[in-house]
Amino acid sequence: MKFTKNQIERYSRQIILKKIGTIGQKKLFKSRVLIVGAGGLGSPIAIYLTALGIGKIGIIDKDNIEISNLSRQIIFSTNDLKKSKSSTAINKLRRINPDIQLKSFSKRLTKKNINQIGKNYDLIVDGSDNFRTRFLINDYCFKNKKILVSGAISKFDGQVYTFNFSKKKSPCLRCFIPNVPIDLDIDNCEYEGVLGTLGGIIGTIQANEVIKEILGIGDTLCGYVLIIDGLKLTFRKVKLNKRSDCYCNEI
């Protein structure tokens, strides 16, 4: 593939970086990323990945936009209320960067559809708001050796995990959360509240992890969890070991 003059200009501030260059930028353009959840995390993830030139992006979210979403889901506006999150997000992204192949899935990701949807993407970024979806994506990526960048936010805190399952020693989300929460569908943002900016902080770190995994540059969080306390502004990187008794060994 060849970039047009316009594309070279659009991505010039990245192409100029020695660790990216034209080769890296083309790599990004050939990548296929699925974003699960067009919410507080999904908004910055989608905006950045589209703007910086990931060639193919899918967004899956079954919900419609509610007024309580607008304090953190920055891809939506007040006049978008009641519209589908995934298709509204795609319309906004198209205006940011018309080069990108964008696809919206206005449905919930389930055991039944994850294979069909996931097979078209190399990497999944999880910005979902419940453990049922998080574990579903974890197990799917583990089984299919895909890269997963997972994030979570609640109150003033957040976490980021990167799992590169093509590496044998990569732990999984279940290694870190061995005791499955009783209510898998609970949405912490709804019940415990969340400060809007946490989505921006965590989501942007997730997007940054995606780029590094695709380009193979720097050190990603694979094998660690990043725990951020937004009030104290502490960033702790905690080693995450693969558990020999984890459910993932049986998948």
| Interacting residues with Zn ion (CB under 5 A) | 172, 174-175, 246, 248
Q: Name the residue with tokens 């003059």.
A: 5
**Dihedral angle computed from the Cα positions of residues 22, 151, 78 and 197, in that order, rounded to the nearest 10 degrees:** -90
204 contacts 192 by C-beta, under 8 angstroms: no
d(CA 128, CA 84): 16
% helix, strand, coil for the chain, step of 5 = 40, 20, 40
Comparison of 48 and 163: residue with beta carbon closer to Zn ion: 163
Comparison of 172 and 222: residue with beta carbon closer to Zn ion: 172
Comparison of 48 and 176: residue with beta carbon closer to Zn ion: 176
Residue 71: CB minimum distance to Zn ion, A? 34
Comparison of 29 and 163: residue with beta carbon closer to Zn ion: 163
Comparison of 134 and 174: residue with beta carbon closer to Zn ion: 174
Residues sharing a CB contact under 8 Å with residue 145, sequence separation 6 or more, in sequence order: 165, 166
Residue 170: CB minimum distance to Zn ion, A? 9
Residue 134: CB minimum distance to Zn ion, A? 13
Residue 16: CB minimum distance to Zn ion, A? 40
Comparison of 210 and 248: residue with beta carbon closer to Zn ion: 248
d(CA 72, CA 205): 16
Residue 121: CB minimum distance to Zn ion, A? 21
What's phi and psi for 99, nearest 5 deg?
A: -75, -20
Beta strands in the chain (DSSP E): 32-36, 56-60, 101-105, 123-126, 147-154, 157-164, 224-229, 234-239
58 contacts 21 by C-beta, under 8 angstroms: no
Residue 122: CB minimum distance to Zn ion, A? 21
